[in-house]
Homo-oligomer: A and B are copies of this chain.
Amino acid sequence: MTDTLAARAAALDGADPLAGYRELFVGTDDSEVVAYLDGNSLGRPTRASADRITRFVTEQWGGRLIRGWDEEWMRLPLSIGDALGRAALGADAGQVFVGDSTTVILYKLLRAAVDARPERTEIVVDTDNFPTDRYVLQGIAAETGRTLRWIDADTASGVTPEQVAAAVGPQTAIVVLSQVAYRSGFLADVPEITRIAHDAGALVLWDLCHSVGVTDIQLDDWAVDLAAGCSYKYLNGGPGAPAFGYVRSELQPTLTQPIWGWIGSSAPFEMGPQYAPADGIRRFLSGTPAVVGMLAMQDMIALVAEAGMEQIRAKSVALTEFAIELADDLLAEHGVTIASPRDAARRGSHVTLRHPRFREVTAALWERGVIPDFRSPDGLRLGLSPLTTSFAELQAGVEAVRELLAGR
């Protein structure tokens, strides 16, 4: 069985039109790492980023010094935002910014949205949304006197349009969901749910942390209002790299975010007495742009643009299909179940397996250089990054899980 599957993996790699991208990333030739299966937590650095960051410190920061702000750095939050919008979000220019953390951007955009609709008392969110989304909303509900209406998401099947239709109404200020669920990998029907929310007069915010760079996203066409996401998973921006936010053009003049900082003001270098928000997307910025943290994502965004989201999504589907095949063939007999959708159309780029022993198994895997993620209480996530994950390392990784479960 193992030999057959290894041959299958080799054949899939051989036929993969994106296989050549793998060598553009640091560490893919590192023999200590047998299988890196956590691209949905932290993407690998591109080799271009390693060069860019080294040159930045000596030539830009060390050489241009303060002049770099005028020459380029001050524009990065919006120029990188535009490039990301074009490559991966289906967003025209002037609607995406980069900065802060996902948590802070969620706070700013959600406060702006809720404050703009004082007559609407409820915020709809699902119980399986990422903790930071839920916690930010609990804080906003507490401080603005709103009520959270919880959709009880089935971990396997995610949030359905029917559930959203039942939850929204004239009282709904905004619906806050993730396109891909962080545990199961369930891929929500963004255009349909967005339409349902709009029919009730509500806004929507989509968290794209686990989907940006691996799934089809058409924010403009889908008439999404707000979105946020991180850049360190499938955008390979590096640990804790700044997040991004999207605000649909027509909405921008109607929203004021609560953290009034100089970089989001209409004339930062006049340093005048009174804050006035900048026109356009810049009003959603607050503090000084996090330049060093923004460097690496630029190279991955360029690779995503070059490879094209259609091909990337096709490989993502092929990888998750193979992961499920491997789990069925190698792990089911050891009691492993699959917590992710079997329908590829409803699945992001990670597959979550369940087994009571996965906490200890993950620790043992890491020592062997097989690196998936563990999610309490019993989930093992295989995060598959289309430009860096090979079918061979996926097969080797699942084989290692089998060996550990078999007691070897």
Point out residues on A near B: beta carbons under 8 Å. 25-27, 30, 32-33, 36, 38, 41-42, 44-45, 49-50, 53-54, 57-58, 61-63, 65-69, 73, 99-104, 107, 115, 127, 130-132, 134-136, 138-139, 143, 230, 232, 238-243, 258-263, 265, 268-275, 286-296, 366, 371, 373, 375-376
Contact B290 A376 (CB under 8 A): no
Give the distance to chain B from A342, nearest Cβ to Cβ, in Å: 24
CB distance from A47 to the nearest CB of B (A): 9
- With a cutoff of 8 Å between Cβ atoms, the chain B residues found around residue A371 in the complex are 65-67
- Whether the pair B26, A132 counts as a contact (CB closer than 8 A) is no
One of B100, B265, B268, B287 near A287 (C-beta < 8 A): B100
The answer for the CA separation of A32 and B63 in the assembled complex, in Å, is 8
Q: How far is the CB of A332 from chain B (nearest CB, A)?
A: 26
User: Inside 8 A of A238's CB, which chain B residues have their CB?
Assistant: 57, 61, 291-292
Report copies per complex. Answer: 2
CA distance A265 to B63 in the complex (A): 41
Q: Are A270 and B49 in contact (CB under 8 A)?
A: no
Query: Could you say which residues of chain B place their CB within 8 Å of the CB of A130?
Result: 262, 271
Pair B288/A230 contact, Cβ less than 8 Å: yes
Known: A73-B239, A102-B287. A135 touches B62 (CB 8 A): no
A127 CA to B272 CA in the complex, in Å? 10
CB distance from A271 to the nearest CB of B (A): 5
A296 and chain B: residue at smallest CB distance: B292
Residues of B within 8 A of A33 (CB): 63, 65
B241 touches A292 (CB 8 A): yes
Q: Which chain B residues border A100 with CB–CB below 8 Å?
A: 100-101, 104, 287
Q: Is B66 a contact of A373 with CB atoms below 8 Å?
A: yes
